[in-house]
Amino acid sequence: MDLIRIILSLFLPPLGVFLEVGLSKHFWINVLLTLLGWLPGVVHAIWVISRRPAHA
């Protein structure tokens, strides 16, 4: 499932973060970073998705 989120994050970074953490502070940080530039949003999204432990 993380692979799907990472692929979605390449096209729309806030969507991948939203699917991972919902409407938390990380989502809003990612929206701001994406507005400042696509690459910072992607980097942050991949970081958020990869740092969370896998769900059992």
Could you tell me how many residues make up the chain?
56
Q: Per the domain annotation, does 15 fall within a domain?
A: yes
How many structural domains comprise the chain? 1
The pLDDT assigned to 41 comes to 96
| Whole-number Cα distances in Å, 29 to 34, 44, 54, 56 | 9, 9, 22, 27
What is the spatial distance between Cα 55 and Cα 36, in angstroms, rounded to a whole number? 31
**pLDDT above 70 covers what percent of the chain?**
93
Q: Per the domain annotation, does 14 fall within a domain?
A: yes
Q: Per the domain annotation, does 56 fall within a domain?
A: no
Q: Per the domain annotation, does 16 fall within a domain?
A: yes
Q: How do residues 1-22 score in pLDDT, each as one tens digit?
A: 789 999 999 999 999 999 999 9
Q: Which domain holds residue 36?
A: 2-51
Q: Per the domain annotation, does 37 fall within a domain?
A: yes
What is the spatial distance between Cα 21 and Cα 36, in angstroms, rounded to a whole number? 21
pTM of the model: 0.86
Q: Per the domain annotation, does 22 fall within a domain?
A: yes
Q: Per the domain annotation, does 25 fall within a domain?
A: yes
Structure tokens at 34: 């994406």
The pLDDT assigned to 1 comes to 76
